[in-house]
């Protein structure tokens, strides 16, 4: 699996990451969602550089111009609910893409000794055919990598994509290792930033907290 970490090259993206991390700025849920969306727009352009392009002619008011246009049939896949703003950022750029949605949530089971076992549960899938298409599967927080793998395998019931791009804002070394062991070798993983560790509750550190709650409010 190929891993591309966009934070290795400082860019405008870092300004949005800073605001998302800030305990003061992230309280504004509308701004938080918009920052994820803007990061999605930036990452969409980077992912598009891996596509197949063909020259097409277009008539301007003055002459004919040749433009390189991507040929990939794109399906944007999203893990609900935190993935929605990131999905929207990609959809702003790939406005002709088909869309897929998968539910995946964390279920924490605590034993009598206080040890927490994390389980990823998936109960919903809505997707078009993926056969021969370019799948872009997005989720802002890649903590363990389990949600991404479960979502990917659920989507495979709708066909085998020609190529697969996994996209996240925050990732951890643990998640990278897990996906390298459980995803096809030809997969490309795009990260805005890779944070160093997970805490005992499987949250990314330093991270930003719970992205879903920050986007849409706390849940029961």
Q: Which long-range contacts (CB under 8 A, 24 or more apart) does 177-186 make?
A: 177/145, 178/144, 178/145, 178/146, 178/149, 179/1, 179/142, 179/145, 179/148, 179/149, 180/1, 182/145, 182/149, 183/1, 183/149, 183/152, 184/1, 185/1, 186/1
pLDDT at 220: 73
Angle formed by the axes of helices 173-182 and 146-155, nearest 10°: 30
What's the total number of domains in the chain?
A: 1
pLDDT at 70 over 60: yes
Residues 96-107 pLDDT 10s: 999 999 987 656
Q: What is the pTM of this model?
A: 0.91
Sequence-separated contacts (24+) of 210-217 with Cβ below 8 Å? 211/36, 211/82, 211/140, 211/141, 211/169, 212/81, 212/82, 214/26, 214/29, 214/32, 215/29, 215/32, 215/33, 215/36, 215/81, 215/82, 215/84, 215/85, 216/29, 216/81, 217/29
Q: How far apart are CA 15 and CA 17, in angstroms?
A: 5
Range of the domain at 109: 2-216
Scanning the structure block, which residue is given the tokens 């802002």?
140
Q: How far apart are CA 186 and CA 211, in angstroms?
A: 28
Query: What's the CATH number where 110 sits?
Result: 3.40.50.2020
- pLDDT, one tens digit per residue, over 205-217 is 999 999 999 999 9
Inform me whether the pLDDT recorded for 6 exceeds 80: yes
Q: What is the distance between the alpha carbons of residues 4 and 65, in angstroms, rounded to a whole number?
A: 33
Mean pLDDT for 160-173 is 98
């Amino acid at each position: 699996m190929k891993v591309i970490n966009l934070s290795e090259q400082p860019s405008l993206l870092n300004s949005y990451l800073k605001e998302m991390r800030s305990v003061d700025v992230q309280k504004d849920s509308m701004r938080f969602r918009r920052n994820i969306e803007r990061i999605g727009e930036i990452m969409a352009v980077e992912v598009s550089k891996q596509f197949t392009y063909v020259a097409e002619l277009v008539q301007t008011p003055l002459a004919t111009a040749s433009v390189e246009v991507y040929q990939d049939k794109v399906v944007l896949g999203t893990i609900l609910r935190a993935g929605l703003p990131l999905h929207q950022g990609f959809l702003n750029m790939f406005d002709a893409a088909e869309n897929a949605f998968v539910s995946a949530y964390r279920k924490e089971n605590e034993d009598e000794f206080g040890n927490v076992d994390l389980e990823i549960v998936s109960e919903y899938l809505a997707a078009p055919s993926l056969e021969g298409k370019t799948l872009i599967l997005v989720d802002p927080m890649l903590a363990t990598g389990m949600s991404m793998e479960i979502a990917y395998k659920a989507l495979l019931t709708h066909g085998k994509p020609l190529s697969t791009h996994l996209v996240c804002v925050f990732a951890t070394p643990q998640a990278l290792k897990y996906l390298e062991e459980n995803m096809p070798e030809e997969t490309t993983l795009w990260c805005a930033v890779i944070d160093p560790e997970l805490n005992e509750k499987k949250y990314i550190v330093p991270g930003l907290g719970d992205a879903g709650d920050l986007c849409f409010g706390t849940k029961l």
